[in-house]
């Protein structure tokens, strides 16, 4: 009987995941996550040993972290799951940028690949997270057979891009995300910019006035999908008193005014996602809160489901 109940819950959620996840409750989501066997909770990631600054994208979406502009020599492991909606082929793009010390602002072939022992390294890996393990994951990663081939530029260039096809085969979930969203590249750019600024202003107003319940509601679908992608069954944290208090302390009365001259409109995911990103200090970030002791930034990636007349927050 317990097995039948479990299969029933999974069946309900799988159906919702492929149609309208907004109809599932937090309890349903947490039950679904807990139903995934530990050995199936696969996390895909990119591990990078960087020789130059860089930006990195998965399916035309910039991976967050470190301001999205990574310094040379900065090794990083970037999880892909939050931006992988389902199994299949996915496109990774790496943009190698000139060294900070480059006087001519050019990237040289030797900056990317000097020799086999002094070169960029990118590893496409998968693992099962385990917070109790010394490295944070179970077992060992086969780096020797997970390396992606790095090809340097043939001559000095302002930047150099390389794309890789990644096959994702073991995700135990399917997410709707932006897969059924409007192609925003077909909207007049000025009209799109106007709409996006209005939505960001709405978010900023809610945060500035401490209307955390309404703000959290705008993030409901994003939080649900990220919880599934990262196998985090503590979805209640997003609506907890602790989280609400944190938002009020950081944001109420502290949000910077949105000045259009300080933002660029960016479209990602081949036109399905849009965002506002600062161009000066806090570059590539979204909204900024300034308290007496620190700064806090909040970035949002928006989409517009087909048939909807408003944007929704779908990722950060």
Which tens digit of pLDDT belongs to each residue from 138-183?
A: 888 888 899 999 999 999 999 999 999 999 999 999 999 999 999 9
**pLDDT confidence of residue 46:** 95
Cα torsion angle, 217, 222, 224, 227, sign: negative
Say yes or no: 279 and 222 in one domain: yes
What mean pLDDT do residues 176-202 have? 96
Say yes or no: 6 and 65 in one domain: no
Q: Domain count of the chain?
A: 3
Q: Both tokens of residue 75?
A: 């090794």
Q: Would the pLDDT of 56 be above 70?
A: yes
What mean pLDDT do residues 91-103 have? 93
**pLDDT confidence of residue 1:** 37
Say yes or no: 196 and 306 in one domain: yes
- Coil, helix or strand for 240? coil
Say yes or no: 8 and 70 in one domain: no
By the 8 A CB rule, do 300 and 316 touch?
Answer: yes
Say yes or no: 52 and 117 in one domain: yes
Q: Would the pLDDT of 109 be above 50?
A: yes
Q: What is the pTM of this model?
A: 0.88
Say yes or no: 83 and 114 in one domain: yes
Domain extent at residue 26: 2-38
β-strand partners of 263: 278
Last residue of a domain, one of 137, 168, 199: 168
Q: Name which of 25, 111, 84, 50 is nearest 226 in CA terms.
A: 84
Say yes or no: 112 and 164 in one domain: yes
Q: Name which of 235, 232, 225, 220 is nearest 173 in CA terms.
A: 225
Establish if 85 belongs to a structural domain.
yes
**Angstrom distance (rounded) from CA 183 to CA 274:** 10
Say yes or no: 132 and 237 in one domain: no
Q: Round the average pLDDT of the chain to a whole number and report it.
A: 89
**Angstrom distance (rounded) from CA 177 to CA 171:** 15
**Residues in Cβ contact with 146 at an 8 Å cutoff, skipping those fewer than 6 apart:** 123, 124, 125
The per-residue b/e assignment along 126-142, b for 16 or more CB within 10 angstroms, e otherwise, is bbebeeeeeeebeeebe
Q: Name which of 26, 59, 30 is nearest 44 in CA terms.
A: 59
By the 8 A CB rule, do 49 and 75 touch?
Answer: yes
**Angstrom distance (rounded) from CA 92 to CA 165:** 6
- pLDDT-derived band at 214 (thresholds 50, 70, 90) equals very high
Q: Name which of 55, 53, 56 is nearest 98 in CA terms.
A: 53
- pLDDT-derived band at 71 (thresholds 50, 70, 90) equals low
**pLDDT confidence of residue 68:** 52
Say yes or no: 214 and 299 in one domain: yes
Last residue of a domain, one of 112, 141, 168: 168
By the 8 A CB rule, do 207 and 247 touch?
Answer: yes
**Angstrom distance (rounded) from CA 11 to CA 31:** 12
């Amino acid at each position: 009987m317990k097995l039948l109940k479990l299969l029933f819950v999974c069946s309900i959620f799988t159906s919702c995941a492929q149609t309208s996840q907004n109809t599932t409750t937090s309890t349903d989501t947490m039950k679904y996550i807990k139903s995934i066997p530990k050995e199936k909770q696969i996390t895909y990631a990119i591990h990078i040993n960087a020789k130059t600054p860089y930006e990195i994208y998965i399916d035309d979406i910039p991976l967050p972290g470190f301001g999205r502009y990574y310094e040379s020599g900065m090794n990083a492991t970037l999880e892909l799951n939050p931006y992988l909606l389902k199994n299949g082929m996915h496109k990774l793009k790496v943009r190698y940028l000139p060294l900070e010390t480059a006087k001519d602002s050019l990237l040289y072939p030797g900056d990317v690949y000097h020799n086999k022992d002094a070169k960029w390294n990118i590893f496409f890996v998968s693992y099962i997270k385990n917070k109790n393990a010394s490295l944070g994951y179970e077992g060992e990663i086969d780096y020797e057979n997970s390396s992606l081939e790095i090809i340097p530029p043939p001559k000095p260039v302002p930047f150099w891009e390389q794309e890789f096809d990644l096959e994702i085969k073991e995700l135990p979930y399917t997410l709707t995300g932006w897969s059924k969203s409007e192609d925003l590249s077909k909207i007049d750019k000025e009209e799109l910019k106007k709409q996006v600024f209005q939505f960001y202003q709405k978010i900023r107003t809610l945060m500035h006035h401490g209307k955390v319940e309404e703000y959290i509601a705008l993030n409901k679908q994003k939080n649900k999908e990220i919880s599934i992608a990262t196998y985090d069954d503590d979805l209640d944290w997003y609506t907890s008193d602790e989280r609400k208090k944190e938002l009020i302390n950081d944001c109420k009365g502290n949000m910077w005014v949105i000045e259009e001259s300080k933002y660029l409109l960016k479209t990602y995911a081949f036109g399905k996602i849009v965002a506002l990103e600062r161009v000066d200090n806090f570059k590539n970030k979204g909204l900024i809160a300034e308290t007496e002791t620190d700064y806090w930034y909040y970035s949002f990636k928006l989409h517009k489901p087909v048939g909807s007349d408003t944007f929704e927050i779908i990722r950060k």
